[in-house]
């Protein structure tokens, strides 16, 4: 005698396997999107950090009533306080206040500072003055091309308007978050980082 089959709830093994396969496909398709978004987020974060460091240099110069030198390099920003000479010496010294490093590089590509200029020309490649091999504190000589000096009144040296270019080399150049522009107003020292620019 064959017993009547009861109506049991639940899923069959085949139905469960179909759901697992669909979830695996969705995970495989969404992973590149999350990775690209994470890379874009790192670029935006580094641009904000560089702008904050420049703003900090401005406030530090006004608070300490002494010039602060922001030294920009490919993957880091150094801030130095200018220490006046103590007689009988006539040489100024420079005290390192902070060193802020960019996100970790992926081989030779990274989120890099490509240049800083007082004119409106956009760099085609990274400026060689910003390479890590040129890392050195400020000197009493003329400022270097990668050196922005904030004076005690909050302005930059000679009231120069600076444009700092940042390139996320991990993204294609046509990506909306591939390039960033930070403006530093000379007379006021005001720093803005919401500007966009297209770098190659």
Closest listed residue to residue 143, CA positions, set 133, 158, 131, 128 = 158
Per residue of the chain (200 residues), give pLDDT as tens: 555 556 667 889 999 999 999 999 888 887 766 666 788 888 899 999 999 999 999 999 999 999 999 999 999 999 999 998 888 888 889 999 999 998 876 677 888 999 999 998 888 888 888 887 777 889 888 899 999 999 999 999 999 999 999 999 988 989 888 999 999 999 999 999 877 788 87
Strand, coil or helix: 111: strand
Residues 6+ apart with CB under 8 A from 195: 180, 181, 182, 183
pTM of the model: 0.81
Alpha-carbon gap, residue 59 to 57, rounded angstroms: 6
Residue 168 structure tokens = 């996320």
Q: What pLDDT is stored for residue 7 in this prediction?
A: 67
Q: What pLDDT is stored for residue 4 in this prediction?
A: 58
Q: What pLDDT is stored for residue 33 in this prediction?
A: 67
User: Are the CB atoms for 128 and 74 separated by under 8 Å?
Assistant: no
Q: What pLDDT is stored for residue 65 in this prediction?
A: 96
DSSP string, 127-178: -GGGSGGG-----SSSPPTTEEEE-TTSPBGGG--EEEEEEETTS-TTSTTS
Q: What pLDDT is stored for residue 3 in this prediction?
A: 58
User: Are the CB atoms for 152 and 168 separated by under 8 Å?
Assistant: no
Alpha-carbon gap, residue 84 to 98, rounded angstroms: 19
């Amino acid at each position: 005698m064959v017993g009547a089959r009861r109506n049991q709830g639940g899923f069959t093994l085949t139905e469960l396997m179909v759901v697992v396969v669909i979830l695996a496909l969705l995970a495989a398709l969404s992973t590149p999107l999350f990775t690209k978004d994470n890379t874009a987020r790192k670029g935006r974060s580094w641009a904000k950090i560089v702008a904050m460091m420049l703003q900090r240099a401005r406030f530090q110069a006004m608070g300490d009533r002494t010039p602060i030198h922001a030294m920009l390099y490919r993957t880091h920003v150094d801030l130095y306080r200018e220490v006046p000479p103590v007689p009988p010496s006539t040489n100024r010294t420079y005290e390192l206040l902070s060193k802020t490093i960019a996100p970790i590089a992926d081989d030779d590509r990274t989120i890099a500072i490509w240049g800083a200029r007082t004119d409106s020309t956009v760099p085609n490649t990274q400026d060689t003055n910003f390479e890590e091999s040129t890392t050195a504190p400020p000197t009493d000589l003329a400022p270097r091309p990668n050196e922005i000096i904030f004076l005690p009144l909050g302005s930059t040296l000679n009231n120069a308007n600076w444009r700092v270019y940042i390139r996320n080399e991990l993204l294609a150049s046509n990506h909306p978050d591939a390039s960033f522009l930070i403006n530093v107003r000379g007379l006021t020292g005001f720093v803005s980082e919401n500007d966009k620019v297209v770098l190659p």
